[in-house]
Chains A and B, each alone.
Chain A
Amino acid sequence: MRLTLVRRERASRLAMFAAPVVALVLSALASLILFAALGKPAEQALYSLLLEPFLSWYNFSEVLLKAAPLMLIAQGLAVGFRANVFNIGAEGQLIIGAIAATALPVWYPAGTSVWMLPAMIAMGALGGMAWAGVAALLKTRFNANEILVTLMLTLIATQVLNYLLLGPWKDPHGFNFPQTVPFPAAAMLPVLLPGTRVNISLIGALIASVLAYVMMRHRFSGFQLLVSGLAPRAASYAGFSERRGIWVSLLVGGMAAGLAGACEVAGPLGQLQRSVTTGYGYAAIIVAYLGGLNPLGIVASALLMSVLYIGGDNAMVSADLPVAGVAVFQGLLLVFYLASLTFIRNRVVLIRRPGAAR
């Protein structure tokens, strides 16, 4: 006897909804075992990780704060992932977006213009698009693998950030810390919920989610991207331009990441510093897949991932769990999700050996 996968006649909707839940439960179980094996108070860690973020208004507002960039970037990346364009360098595009947005307050540290913030947002978007555009150009022109190029560009972006913070952009009054001058008020995003750090970028991320939904569900351009992802030869047969798909995918992803970068420096950070690169760009890849590459699913998975970040901070204090515990949990989540995903199109069948049947 053995188990084998048999393809279903059509995708199972039940399995589609069950997959992320199953993945979450299995990840919780696996990390429980792992944390216990490392000698940490595993139940306390898991409690802090998954529940505490909901138990105080402050914690939950922090969840909303972090959910915004994750959601925004993941929506942008998912557009490309559906077209099988694997932009895994959102982290770098975020950094360059943050750098581009920071240029204005660095050059005009006492600026008061109402146009400063919109210009910064625009610069951030353009910065992210430019960085992703390099990968699009190399892919369409030279056939260079976008996975490796976007990743290398991220490593370069990190070095550019370090260079600027240690050199030309270092705040002369910053006690030699690698950070820029604090931004003037005109360069800061308005707070959305008074008394918290949640700013209007959350509204932006939700609007982006709606736009992504409309594009992927109702727009012909979204359909074209879907086709090029599922069956590239069918896309070429139907006359959907491959180049256009690559450019759209990378530019949308880059724009979203660049915007998120701008919103980070103009939001919770209030200046450019190294902590702008906290792995949102990588986490957003997980958010996008965990949401089933579905714009609505991504809203939910962005919140979940954000809960893990805030919960991770809590668990560090309450259970002495290193920050890496969150990364492990994220990895487990995606691994289990990918495994559960198989059951959307397949079901498990027990095969009896022919001899045993008689």
Chain B
Amino acid sequence: MSQGPTPLLSLSGVSKRYGGVVANSGIDLAVTAGSIHAILGENGAGKSTLMKLIYGVETPDDGVIAWKGQPVRLSSPAAARRLGIGMVFQHFSLFETLTVVQNMALVVPGAQAALAARIRALGDEFGLSVDPAALVHSLSVGERQRVEIIRCLLLDPELLILDEPTSVLPPQSVVKLFETLRRLQVKGMAILFISHKLEEIKELCDTATILRLGRVTGRLDPRNHSAKELATLMIGREMPAVVRAAPLGLGEVRLELAGVGYANDDPFGVSLSDVSLAVHSGEIVGIAGISGNGQQELAALISGEIAQGAAPGAIRLLGQAVGDMGVAARRRLGFAFVPEERLGRGAVPEMSLADNVLLTAHGRGLVHRGFISRQAERAFTADCIARFDVRTPGPETEAGALSGGNLQKFIMGREVMLEPAMLLVSQPTWGVDIGAATDIRQRLVAMRNQGVAILVISEEIDELFQICDTLHVLYKGRLSAALPTASITVNEVGAHMIGAGQPAGAVP
């Protein structure tokens, strides 16, 4: 690492542990000015921890961080910002009840009027237009990202860190983001671009540092290597093959929404209007869209967590009108649901896996005359752990102690073992490593082949294209018409994701 000019930022031997878990181990990294440097790694590889260390959110247990050749101690984000490091978080660090300019004023000195003018100027220069007086909760995800980037730029950083910036964006906005980043690069700024998407890195970055299990496994120019080589370095083996779903004859309709609307009480939530869709036996239907466009509300309406009440439209589940039914009644019909939040919704973190099984599987002989049968509970849990390859010491382990991927396998397993006729899965592979994600997708396809009707809500277009027979796109609470995956392109779906597709709401 000693050749060439002094790197802007360099790390040597940096390590970080959380309790017994080693998140980063002996990381060496060098970022030079004017470079777009990728940090590549799958979920759980330690990318986010590394960025927190560089941005001063966490302090390393060991190793040296140097800025322009001088060792520095980054005790807080404020210290990092003073050096000239800016960061755009994956889960934005914006305050929803404040305006754009107030959000800036928290971090950037100066009068608000002057700030507003600078926000507009930066927006023009780098293609990041946003209204300074708008309240953040009224902005789209893409706009919020622009706010985050501008907030960094106002401090004239020399290094900008972006944590998974494209995971929240539709394809068209990714193109715009890349343009912005290239303009910044031309100005001499260094950019750390964190991602697990190989094609993006090959397109944008000039250097890549690859992480696996908290260690650096490669340092290279991604433009000179194939996606396959990158993947091998990232996950330690070749990318697992994906079983594409073969078309199947459609069975009966198991879930049907006809013109469903929902006026949200929560001013920060999304209202749904005129949502129509049908899921048949032996079919996987996908709901694409940027999160925050009504996915949570739609899932909760189908699961019964939100009572439909007097809202318009009809929901039919397994042949019955279920608008007035509660969650438990819908489950008794043969409905199961894997929610996007695992801790605190899909599972109770402080409870054992065995007790977490009781949450939804109590109807399967685990409760007799109101008394819990501990034996049956343990047996069911042990079965779930074995069949779904949940890595855990046993049924008595607390759910909160499991990794994200293992917990998802457990919840998925629990719901699958209920042998549902209709399964709703929300964000099946969020935060899950590639091996587990592939496994989950294959199980969904296998269930479909056995005749289960499945509705999958996901932000990952690639995933939906892999497993779904039909796609809908959710945008601002409206659902597109059914789009057969066999005959549409990613770009067409992307157009729907930003509201530029065909008129929404048409019944297929």
Cα(A233)–Cα(B345), bound, Å: 5
Q: In the complex, are the beta carbons of A353 and B59 less than 8 A apart? A: yes
On chain B, the residues within 8 Å of A234 by CB distance are 344-348, 359
Q: Enumerate A238-262 residues with CB–CB distance to B below 8 Å.
A: 238-241
Tell me, rounded to whole Å, the shortest Cβ–Cβ distance linking A233 to chain B: 4
Q: Taking CB as reference atom, which chain B residue is nearest A232?
A: B344
Contact A237 B371 (CB under 8 A): no
Interface residue B341 (Cβ < 8 Å from any Cβ of A): yes
- Chain B's closest residue to A233 (CB) is B345
Chain A residue nearest to B374 (CB atoms) is: A218
B304 touches A239 (CB 8 A): yes
Q: Which of A4-12, A104-112, A172-180, A333-341 contacts B (4 or more CB under 8 A)?
A: A4-12
- The interface bits of chain B over 58-72 (1 if a CB of A lies within 8 angstroms of the residue's CB, else 0) are 011111000000000
Q: Does A221 contact B (CB under 8 A)?
A: yes
Q: Which residues of A sit under 8 angstroms from B59, Cβ to Cβ?
A: 353-354
| A241 in contact with B337 (CB, 8 Å) | no
Tell whether, in the assembled complex, residue A231 and residue B348 are in contact, meaning their CB atoms are under 8 Å apart: yes
B217 is an interface residue with CB less than 8 A from chain A: no
Q: Is residue B251 within 8 Å, beta carbon to beta carbon, of the partner chain?
A: no
Contact A227 B348 (CB under 8 A): yes
Interface string of A264-306 (1 = CB under 8 A from B): 0000000000000000000000000000000000000000000
**Across the interface, do B305 and A237 meet the contact criterion of CB distance under 8 Å?**
yes
Name the residue of chain B whose CB is nearest to the CB of A355.
B73
Q: Is the Cβ of A220 less than 8 Å from the Cβ of B370?
A: yes
Decide: B370 and A221 in contact? CB cutoff 8 A.
yes
The contact of B367 among A220, A230, A239, A353, by CB within 8 Å, is A220
> For residue B397, which residues in chain A have a CB less than 8 angstroms away from its CB?
10
Chain A residues 133-183 with CB under 8 Å of chain B are none
Q: Mark B297-336, 1 if CB is under 8 A from A, else 0.
A: 0000001110000000000000000000011111100000
Given contacts A231-B348, A234-B347, A237-B346, contact A219 B359 (CB under 8 A): no
Q: Is the CB of B372 within 8 A of A223?
A: yes
| Known interface pairs A7-B19, A223-B358, A238-B360; A230-B350 also in contact (CB < 8 Å) | yes
Say which size band chain A's interface belongs to.
20 to 34
- A1: interface (CB < 8 Å): no
**CA A10 to CA B397, docked complex, whole Å:** 8
CB distance from A256 to the nearest CB of B (A): 21
- At the interface, is chain A mostly helix, strand, loop or mixed? helix
Q: Which residue of chain B lies nearest to A347 when distances are taken between CB atoms in the complex?
A: B19
Shortest distance from the beta carbon of A232 to any chain B beta carbon, whole Å: 9
In angstroms, how far is the closest chain A Cβ from the Cβ of B452?
A: 20
Cβ-defined contact, B327 with A220, below 8 A? no
Q: Which of A6, A11, A238 contacts B327 (CB under 8 A)?
A: A238
* Contact B345–A239 (Cβ < 8 Å): no
A345 to chain B, nearest CB (A): 8
Give complex CA distance A358, B59 in Å.
Answer: 14
- Report whether A223 and B355 are in contact in the complex, using a CB–CB cutoff of 8 Å: yes
B62 touches A354 (CB 8 A): yes
- Are B73 and A230 in touch, CB under 8 angstroms? no
B286 contacts across to A, CB distance below 8 A: none
Please determine whether A354 and B351 come into contact, CB atoms closer than 8 angstroms.
Answer: no
Q: Mark A190-220, 1 if CB is under 8 A from B, else 0.
A: 0000000000000000000000000000111
Q: B454-495 vs A: 1/0 string, CB under 8 Å?
A: 000000000000000000000000000000000000000000
Those of B366-408 within 8 Å (CB) of chain A: 367, 370-372, 397-398, 401
The answer to whether A220 and B360 touch across the interface, beta carbons within 8 angstroms, is no
How far is the CB of A351 from the nearest CB of chain B, in Å? 8
Set of chain B residues within 8 Å of A239, measured between Cβ atoms: 304, 326-331
> In the docked arrangement, what's the CA distance between A64 and B413, Å?
51
The 10 A-B residue pairs with the shortest CB-CB distance in the complex, in nearest-first order: A239-B327, A239-B328, A233-B345, A231-B348, A238-B359, A220-B367, A231-B344, A234-B348, A237-B345, A230-B348
Beyond A231-B344, A239-B329, 18 additional contacts (C-beta under 8 Å) are A9-B398, A220-B362, A220-B370, A223-B358, A233-B341, A234-B345, A234-B359, A236-B327, A237-B303, A237-B346, A238-B327, A238-B359, A239-B304, A239-B326, A353-B59, A355-B73, A357-B62, A358-B62
Q: A residues bordering B, Cβ < 8 Å?
A: 6-7, 9-11, 218-221, 223, 226-227, 230-231, 233-234, 236-241, 353-355, 357-358
A-B contact pairs, 25 of them (CB 8 A): A6-B19, A9-B20, A10-B397, A10-B401, A11-B350, A218-B371, A220-B367, A220-B370, A220-B372, A221-B370, A231-B345, A231-B348, A231-B350, A236-B305, A237-B360, A238-B327, A238-B359, A239-B326, A239-B329, A241-B326, A354-B59, A354-B60, A354-B62, A355-B73, A357-B61
Q: Which residues of chain B have a CB within 8 Å of any CB of chain A? A: 18-20, 59-63, 73, 303-305, 326-331, 337, 339, 341, 344-351, 355, 358-360, 362, 367, 370-372, 397-398, 401
